[in-house]
């Protein structure tokens, strides 16, 4: 009990003071930073992407994103390694799903895949992108897992897709290096901002990321589903 009290007091001190300082230095609703100013005013011209967040994520900080994808990949590998079993994991769901869930999942599964694909294909135009789209796709597979106790993904196919999309991302970066002199250079024309085919390589990268993230998250879920508790 005394432990909880102490921790609450310490927390109160730390958090309050930190946020007091924060609201002094960065008041809510204040103007953008210097570097963002450039992104906002030049972003569309420089990258051709209507969605400025995408412009930042894939163009200005594209290398960062490659690292991020790598982190996710390493995490998926780590999950696989931590939950490794000698024989292929067999799912052991105790409860069958109800008829509503089963029928609903059959109806919704293609829609969810389509929605996920829509999100990452339009990553440079509308809110969302590869990571979000990938997450939606993975959710579709979660649905599948819930509704069917014997369902299991095609591991080989997923691994191939994931590797291929990762290689597309890295390959585009190296193409930029070869053609223009630096990694992840936008080697395709920018086009008209706001159209589907615009913003150079950004849509391609986001599609690759979407497939990769979807495959990886699904792989993580598959691993965890196969665990005997």
Query: Which residues here bind another protein, judged by CB under 8 A?
Result: 3-4, 7-8, 10-19, 22-23, 26, 28-33, 35-36, 39-41, 43-44, 50-53, 55-57, 61, 64-65, 68, 71-72, 74-76, 78-79, 82-83, 125-127, 129, 131, 193-194, 213, 217, 220, 223-224, 227, 229
Judged by beta carbon, residue 37 or residue 106, the one nearer another protein is 37
Phi-psi region of 29 (alpha: psi -120 to 50; beta: other; left: phi over 0): left
- Of 102, 96, 133, 94, which is closest to residue 117 (Cα–Cα)? 133
Give the alpha-carbon dihedral of 155, 162, 114, 227, to 10 degrees: 40
Joined tokens for residue 57: 């994520």
Judged by beta carbon, residue 26 or residue 179, the one nearer another protein is 26
Q: In the bound complex, what is the minimum distance in angstroms from residue 99's beta carbon to another protein? A: 31
- Of 115, 162, 149, which is closest to residue 135 (Cα–Cα)? 115
- Can you tell me the distance from the alpha carbon of 220 to that of 6, in angstroms, rounded to the nearest whole number? 38
End-to-end CA distance of the chain: 32
Judged by beta carbon, residue 166 or residue 193, the one nearer another protein is 193
Q: In the bound complex, what is the minimum distance in angstroms from residue 212's beta carbon to another protein? A: 11
Residue 130: burial class (beta carbons within 10 Å; 0-12, 13-18, 19+): buried
Judged by beta carbon, residue 62 or residue 176, the one nearer another protein is 62
Judged by beta carbon, residue 100 or residue 215, the one nearer another protein is 215
Q: In the bound complex, what is the minimum distance in angstroms from residue 77's beta carbon to another protein? A: 9
Q: In the bound complex, what is the minimum distance in angstroms from residue 154's beta carbon to another protein? A: 21
Q: In the bound complex, what is the minimum distance in angstroms from residue 159's beta carbon to another protein? A: 17
């Amino acid at each position: 009990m005394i432990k909880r009290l102490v921790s609450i007091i310490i927390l109160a001190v730390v958090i309050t003071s930190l946020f007091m300082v924060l609201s002094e230095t960065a008041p809510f609703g204040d103007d953008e930073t210097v570097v963002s100013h450039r992104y906002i005013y030049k972003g569309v011209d420089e990258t051709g992407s209507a969605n400025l967040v995408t412009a930042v994520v894939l163009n200005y900080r594209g290398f960062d994103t490659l690292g991020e994808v790598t982190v996710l990949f390493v995490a998926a590998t780590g999950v696989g390694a931590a939950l490794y079993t000698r024989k292929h994991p067999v799912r052991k769901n105790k409860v069958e799903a109800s008829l509503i869930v089963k029928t609903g999942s059959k109806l919704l599964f293609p829609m969810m895949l389509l929605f996920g694909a829509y999100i990452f294909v339009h990553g440079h135009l509308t809110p969302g992108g590869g990571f979000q789209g990938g997450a939606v796709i993975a959710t579709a597979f979660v649905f599948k897992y819930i509704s069917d106790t014997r369902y299991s993904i095609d591991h080989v196919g997923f691994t191939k897709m994931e590797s291929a999309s990762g290689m597309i991302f890295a390959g585009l970066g190296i193409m930029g290096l070869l053609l223009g002199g630096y990694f992840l250079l936008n080697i395709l024309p920018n086009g008209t901002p706001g159209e589907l085919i615009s913003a150079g390589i950004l849509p391609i990268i986001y599609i690759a990321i979407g497939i990769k993230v979807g495959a990886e998250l699904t792989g993580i879920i598959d691993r965890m589903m196969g665990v005997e508790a």
